Amino acid sequence: MSLTNKVTAEDILRISGVDASRCMQCGKCSGACPNYDEMDYHPHQFAAMVRKGKITELMESKALYQCLSCFACSQRCPRGVEPAKLIEAVRLSVIRQKGKNYMTADALPEKLDEKIPQQALVSAMRKYSK
Amino acid sequence: MQKIGVFVCWCGSNIAATVDVKAVAEALKDEAGVVFSTDYQYMCSENGQAMIRQAIKDYGLTGIVVCSCSPRMHEATFRKTAVSAGLNPYMVEIANIREQCSWIHKDMAEGTEKAIVLARAAVAKLHRNAPLTAGTSPVTKRALVIGGGIAGIQTALDVADAGFEVDIVEKSPTIGGRMAQLDKTFPTLDCSACILTPKMVEAAQHEKINIISYAELESLSGFVGNFTATIRKKARYIDEDKCSGCGVCTEKCPSRKGLDDFNMRLNKRGAVYIPFAQAIPNVAVIDADQCIHFRTGKCGLCQKNCSAGAIDFEQKDQLIERQYGAIVVATGFKPIDASQFNEYAYNDSPDVVTSLEFERIMNAAGPTKGQLVRPSDLEHPHEIVFIQCVGSRCSEDAEKGKPYCSKICCMYTAKHAMLVREKYPDVNVHVFYIDARTPGKNFDEFYRRAVEQYGVDYIKGMVGKVSVEGKKLHVQGSDLLNGEQVHINADMVVLATAIEPDPTARSLGTMLTASMDTNDFFTEAHPKLRPVESPTAGVFLSGVAQGPKDIPETVAQAGAAAAKVIGLLAKNELTCNACVAHANEAVCNGCSQCERVCPYGAITYEDREIRTPEFRGVRRIATVNEAVCQGCGACTVTCPSGAMDLKGFTNRQIMSEVDAICR
Amino acid sequence: MSVNKEWTPNIVAFCCNWCSYAGADLAGSGRMNYPANVKIIRIPCSCRLNPMFVLRAFQRGADGVILCGCHPGDCHYSTGNYYARRRMTVLFSLLDFMGIERGRTRVEWVSAAEGAKFAATMNDFVKTVTELGENKKLGDLRCKK
């Protein structure tokens, strides 16, 4: 996947509201992570790499989609860094890339399925049309 | 009108090279009130001082201005000169024409002009000066030490050895504090009780030390040298003088429901108990909440069996009022409540223990007689996981935990790991750590020994979760160096909990008007230069009450606090600062603003009868305790009515200086 | 004396006794130059500075007033400089309201070890005030000789 827009650490800070520089690299987040073995980058690495501005690597990582968004990492963090929000911010940055993962209203009818709750479609629309 | 003499110093060529001293002396002759003005090579020399003395006599000077180096250098010298000529020392002003003029300016005309302005400002200020007399206050030669742990004991011993009476007030039934609960001490691994109990005995037997155990400070008034303390000695229902500490009552007591605080509530004890074998005073105490006699009116077995007749169910709390010259705060610490960290399953399993609980488990006099067993089933553990920084180093805004490093945990965890491996080589020990902080004499060597010689498995990373799985504890944590998540099926988990000031510290701080930080540690008067004094005069700090520290640091600080106490008590009277605040009773309306900004609690209010043309009657007036006021002037600016002023730096004095400079 | 001379500002510096006055002394012993139009008034603590003194200085024709105190947290009286900081903030907004340029007043923390900082601060302050020119707004002509 090629990225059209450069995403900086400041962007991640703006989207997530999380200041990665508060992280003291204790690893409690990764210790708490229930899906650690599946992820190529781990919660504490998100904090460390965002701080170093290595956002591109994170945007191309598998981990974005392996994260369960269970928020165990955020809940355990002793310094209020909230890695889950960082991961979510990186994920959003990928979604917000122009020309990528875009969802238009026209594409909706063919995705309609009686089993999908309406709410899921609305939220998908919200998330993927930015 | 003042008769002022001006003395301009050359300071060799230090001043004279860039300031035309003769021109300065000449220019000052025209100033109002100046009756004599001269210059001399070295004013601070004996000849120079003689010249000043002579001029004071010859011209009947009421004040002198010395244009010379910084007042920080020679103000004291010239004040002495003035005193020897019969002048009040506060009728001396210094114009700093060296550091703040001749040394920084190269142009003679410029330097001279500035020197004249500075001298004029000093003359202008001197016009408003009034003779000041520093008050004195007597010193009560007795010290109060609050807290009977190692910090309090050491301070008391040092002060008592210097010949002063010391009272130790300890809130629990025995002195000894946290150190008495420890098994071994790092980095030497000597037995804690073996080095502490002789000190406890020494304190108890010292003729100058009076131990008031099971007592707390109820109220305090007064100021440095003159504190009056009321101490509440709680009823222990035992006559301390009669009890021999034989322990028969503790054996006969049928109640077995009380939890043993000394053993970190790991085992049960009777309602009448002696905290531990070497307790001082070695006297029993009755826990009224557990005692069957107090609950039902029956039983009384202890009373029947006490051959000394020491049991006294009628005993009441006793109030002791005493005078002290100095107060030492040595209230120590407690580990934080581990139950708030539920991710470590502290509430779910008795096999998850705190370090202090583990200390008791390892201790030969502890609940397991020193056998390392799991509290749940008393079986020997094979895998032990230590977790460091539990509640330490959390962010300021975190819901739980403390923002500071507790300082001692790295070392005691290394000690625990080492002791376990030494006694039970079959036990695997894992330590999860963030950073191993070992700055201290022989500390890092000790920690390395744990890793290299004792094979303790140090894992850099934190534990995210501990869950109870059958008889085992499943520990899930991260190993940051190897980039993996580790899973350990442990038999025991030991939490290195953060330490926090004793809960009594906050109310004590309010009572003493001693300032505290946001974590309830007492603040020192200066973080570098006055580390054992509180900003409140006469209150000194010893031990962890001031901040986390280990035993040698505590003992060192206790000795330092003692030295400061001795220095204070050795004086018969204290000379107060003469430049203190003073409220003009004609203007003060008792609004209490000044009291709020005073960092020393020097301001109180009294109802005073006022007779002015505008007002006759009783009014609430601010009163400054001159023994306590340090003369910062915060109150003077806060005062909305302008009643408060600072002697030596009055509003009119400073305004005159401003006017002279801006002329 | 100031006739036929280029105009230079008159500056009053209030220095706390424990840090900044000692810092000024250190600048002196280090022979660090700063303009002669800075005159220092010693006060026990920055919290002794009554905002009235600042107004009085301006009224009497000072062109700039600077307050130097211990660094926050280092106050000899533990909290004095915090009071000073708050009071000056209020005063500065008042001066703003009165139309006195912001550059004429300043609060600076100078420790007893910062002689160089003291000199640099004074050089910079004098430069700023010189650029602003003479203080005419608050100067009271009746106070001029």
What gap in Å lies between CA B553 and CA B532, rounded to an integer? 12
What is the least distance, in Å, from the CA of B656 to any CA of chain C?
Answer: 10
- Looking at residue B37, its pLDDT comes to 96
Tell me: do A71 and A118 sit in the same domain.
no
**CB contact (8 A) between residue B526 and residue C61:** no
- Contact map slice: B 407-466 vs A, CB within 8 A: 432, 434, 460-465
Nearest by CB to B478, which of A22, A31, A72? A31
Residue A43's CATH number: 1.10.1060.10
Tell me: do A34 and A81 sit in the same domain.
yes
Residues 6+ apart with CB under 8 A from B297: none
Nearest by CB to C145, which of B631, B636, B663? B663
A1 within domain boundaries: no
Q: C-alpha angle with apex C5: B663 to C7, nearest 5 degrees?
A: 65
Burial environment of residue A128 by CB neighbours within 10 A (0 to 12, 13 to 18, 19 or more): middle
Residues of C in contact with B104 (CB under 8 A): 27-28, 31-34, 36, 119
Domains of chain B, CATH where assigned: 4-127 (3.40.50), 142-234+317-332+502-569 (3.50.50.60), 248-305 (no CATH), 333-500 (3.50.50.60), 581-647 (3.30.70.3270)
Confidence of residue A100 (pLDDT cuts 50, 70, 90): low
Inter-chain CB pairs, A–B, below 8 Å: 75
- CATH level 2 (architecture), domain C11-143: 3-Layer(aba) Sandwich (3.40)
Nearest residue to B615 via CA among B588, B581, B645:
B588
ipTM: 0.94
**CB contact (8 A) between residue A22 and residue B395:** yes
Buried b (16+ CB within 10 A) or exposed e, B578-587: bbbbbbebee
**DSSP helix/strand/coil, B15:** coil
Nearest residue to B529 via CA among B560, B504, B488:
B560
- Looking at residue A127, its pLDDT comes to 65
Low-confidence stretches of chain B (pLDDT < 50) are none
- Looking at residue C3, its pLDDT comes to 45
Tell me: do A77 and A123 sit in the same domain.
no
Sorted by where each begins, the domain ranges of chain C are 11-143
Quote the crossing angle between the two packed helices C51-59 and B651-662, to the nearest 10°: 30
Q: Over range A14-34, report the average pLDDT.
A: 93
Residues of B in contact with A25 (CB under 8 A): 434, 480
Side chain identity, residue A100: K
A54 within domain boundaries: yes
What would the two tokens of residue B401 be?
A: 């935990």
Confidence of residue A99 (pLDDT cuts 50, 70, 90): low
Tell me: do A117 and A94 sit in the same domain.
no
Tell me: do A34 and A83 sit in the same domain.
yes
Side chain identity, residue B322: R
Nearest residue to B64 via CA among B46, B95, B37, B91:
B91
Q: CB–CB of C51/C89 below 8 Å? A: no
Block residue for tokens 């919200």: A126
Residues of A in contact with B477 (CB under 8 A): 27-28, 31
Nearest residue to C118 via CA among C49, C45, C21, C43:
C21
Residues of B in contact with A32 (CB under 8 A): 343, 464-465, 476
Nearest residue to A91 via CA among A9, A6, A15:
A15
Kindly report the length of chain B.
Answer: 663
Task: Please name every residue paired with B644 in a beta bridge, in sequence order, or none if there are none.
Answer: B583
Reported as a single tens digit per residue, the pLDDT across B425-477 is 999 999 999 999 999 999 999 999 999 999 999 999 999 999 999 999 999 99
- Looking at residue B190, its pLDDT comes to 92
Cis peptide preceding B187, ω within 30 of 0:
yes
Buried b (16+ CB within 10 A) or exposed e, A41-74: bbbbbbbbbbbeeebeebbebebbebbeeeebbb
Instruction: List the end-to-end C-alpha distance of chain B, in Å, as a whole number.
Output: 21
Residues 6+ apart with CB under 8 A from A124: A103
Q: CB–CB of B447/B438 below 8 Å? A: yes
Tell me: do A112 and A127 sit in the same domain.
yes
More confident residue, A97 or B137: B137
One DSSP character per residue, B293-305 reads HHHHS---HHHHH
Count up the domains in chain A and report the number: 2
Tell me: do A39 and A75 sit in the same domain.
yes
- Looking at residue B354, its pLDDT comes to 97
- Looking at residue B212, its pLDDT comes to 97
Closest chain B residue by Cα to residue A82: B398
What would the two tokens of residue B165 be?
A: 């009476």
Reported as a single tens digit per residue, the pLDDT across C11-55 is 999 999 988 999 999 999 989 999 999 999 999 999 999 999 999
Residues 6+ apart with CB under 8 A from B494: B352, B353, B354, B355, B358, B384, B385, B386, B387, B413, B416
Residue-range definition of the domain harbouring residue A27: 9-99
One DSSP character per residue, B375-391 reads TTT-PPPSEEEEEEEES
Q: Tell me whether strands B190-191 and B184-185 are parallel, antiparallel or unpaired.
A: antiparallel
Nearest residue to B168 via CA among B153, B183, B178:
B153
Nearest by CB to C28, which of B99, B535, B651? B99
Reported as a single tens digit per residue, the pLDDT across C124-134 is 999 999 999 98
What gap in Å lies between CA B486 and CA B476, rounded to an integer? 6
Nearest residue to C37 via CA among B118, A90, B168, B133:
B118
Tell me: do A53 and A82 sit in the same domain.
yes
Tell me: do A57 and A24 sit in the same domain.
yes
Tell me: do A95 and A108 sit in the same domain.
no
